[in-house]
């Protein structure tokens, strides 16, 4: 039952990512608790003059995952549990991918796709520092 709920929530989350291309989304599910939230923006969504390029490790991390035309945007999933039905999870996640026709529409059209998750707001680092 828990796995079924987890997969359902993951499907909802991954289905909406195309409509929020600038945000790095995070989902956490433990027991009956679930949270879906932004954790920042992809480097590809940030002006290059705001990248911390003087930090070699950050620069390496950005370039390691960079793939045109969408930059460092990617999916990373971790499932922890016992008796996980990998094939069912794979099939359900695959069903969330954009179709060829949807993909061909591009990011401007994706932003208008139905998105049932609450609005996200990412506070800029400077505003956070000023509030402290």
Identify whether 48 is part of a domain: no
Q: Is residue 22 part of a domain?
A: yes
Burial per residue of 77-91, b for 16 or more beta-carbon CB atoms within 10 angstroms, e otherwise: eeeeeeeeeeeebee
Cα(119)–Cα(71) distance, integer angstroms? 24
Residue 123 is predicted with a pLDDT of 61
Specify whether the backbone of 83 is left (phi greater than 0), alpha (psi in -120 to 50) or beta.
left
Is 69 a domain residue?
A: no
Residue 124: what pLDDT? 57
Written as six digits, the tokens of 132 are: 């402290």
Residue 97 forms part of a structural domain? yes
Q: What is the pLDDT along the chain (132 residues), one digit of tens a residue?
A: 444 444 444 444 433 467 888 888 888 877 777 888 888 888 999 998 988 888 899 889 899 989 999 899 888 888 877 788 889 988 988 888 888 999 899 989 988 888 777 777 766 544 444 444
Query: What is the DSSP-derived secondary structure letter of residue 17?
Result: G
Flag whether 54 is in a domain: no
Residue 68 in domain: no
CA distance 49 to 13: 30
Report residue 69: phi and psi, to 5°: -95, 5
Please report whether residue 112 resides in a domain: yes
- Domain boundaries, position 98: 2-43+77-131
Residue 71 falls inside a structural domain:
no
Output the pTM of the full model: 0.69
Give the whole-angstrom CA distance, residue 63 versus residue 78: 22
Domain count along the chain: 1
Q: Residue 17: what pLDDT?
A: 66
């Amino acid at each position: 039952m828990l796995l079924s709920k987890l997969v359902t929530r993951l499907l909802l989350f991954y289905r909406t990512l195309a409509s929020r291309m600038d945000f790095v989304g995070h989902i956490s599910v433990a027991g009956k608790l679930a949270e879906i939230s932004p954790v920042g923006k992809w480097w590809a969504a940030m002006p290059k003059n705001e990248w911390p390029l003087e930090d070699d490790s950050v620069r390496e991390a950005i370039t390691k995952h960079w793939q045109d035309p969408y930059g460092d945007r990617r999916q990373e999933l971790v499932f922890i549990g016992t008796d996980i039905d990998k094939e069912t999870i794979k099939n359900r996640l695959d069903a969330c991918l954009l179709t060829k026709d949807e993909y061909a529409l591009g990011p401007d059209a994706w932003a208008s796709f139905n998105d049932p998750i609450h609005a996200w707001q990412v506070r800029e680092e400077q505003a956070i520092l000023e509030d402290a």
